């Protein structure tokens, strides 16, 4: 399974979350987003064949592996337990680490933004996820750029996808993290 296919599903889903889910707490928005990602996945399976052994999970805790287990799986242990909003992967192994996603739907603080970027960086680098997505709604791309002003982000993975949709009826702005600061 290619991460580009999942990214298409994700963008399809974001475009279909209705106006009644905007302005609510993150969990309500994420339930609907999850539903539409599964709709896209189901359509893919009907037309392209079953997606084998890869699952969409929400708020799944990724635990810290021991050094021995990390070596066996050829990954680096995480620095702490991580619980991203969504994972698209094969559970209990590292064969299909497709996507890790963090979602923010309310006021975005600098601390929460950096915390989510660090979480995605660690999952991308240590657990070898092919795709790391930071998705926010109700926040402008200018606000995101402002949050990065005057702070060091050298430790943040430059390939994290920033998927920003400020309002329901506006298009999503998509870019890699490295392009935010330019």
Q: Which residues partner with 134 through β-bridges?
A: 102, 162
Q: How far apart are CA 87 and CA 102, in angstroms?
A: 9
Cβ neighbour number for residue 157 with a 10 Å cutoff: 19
Token couple for 74: 């050829």
Cβ neighbour number for residue 113 with a 10 Å cutoff: 20
pLDDT recorded at residue 113 = 94
Q: How far apart are CA 88 and CA 142, in angstroms?
A: 29
Q: How far apart are CA 134 and CA 12, in angstroms?
A: 16
pTM of the model: 0.93
Helix (H, G, I), strand (E, B) or coil at 132: strand
Name the stretches of the chain with pLDDT < 70. 1, 62-63, 182
Could you read off the pLDDT of 99-108 as tens digits, one per residue? 999 999 988 8
pLDDT recorded at residue 62 = 67
- Please enumerate in sequence order all residues whose Cβ is within 8 A of that of 102, keeping only pairs 6 or more positions apart, or say none: 84, 85, 116, 119, 120, 133, 134, 135
Token couple for 65: 């592996």
8 A C-beta contact, residue 168 and residue 150 = no
- Tell the residue number behind the tokens 């698209």, with chain if given: 88
Q: How far apart are CA 51 and CA 34, in angstroms?
A: 16
């Amino acid at each position: 399974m290619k991460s580009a296919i999942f990214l298409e599903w994700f963008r399809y889903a974001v475009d279909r979350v209705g106006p009644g889910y905007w302005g609510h707490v993150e969990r309500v928005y994420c339930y609907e987003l999850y539903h539409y990602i599964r709709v896209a996945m189901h359509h893919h399976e009907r037309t392209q064949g079953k997606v084998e052994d890869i699952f969409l999970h929400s708020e799944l805790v990724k635990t810290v592996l021991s050094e021995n287990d990390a070596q066996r799986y050829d990954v680096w242990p995480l620095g702490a337990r991580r619980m991203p909003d969504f994972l698209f992967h094969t559970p209990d192994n590292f064969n299909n680490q497709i996507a890790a996603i963090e979602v923010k739907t309310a006021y975005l603080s600098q601390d929460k933004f950096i915390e989510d970027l660090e979480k995605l960086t660690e999952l991308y680098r240590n657990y070898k996820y092919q795709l790391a997505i930071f998705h926010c709604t109700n926040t402008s791309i200018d606000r995101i750029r402002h949050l990065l002003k005057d702070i060091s982000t050298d430790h943040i993975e430059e390939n994290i996808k920033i998927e920003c949709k400020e309002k329901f009826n506006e298009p999503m702005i998509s870019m890699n993290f490295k392009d935010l600061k330019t």
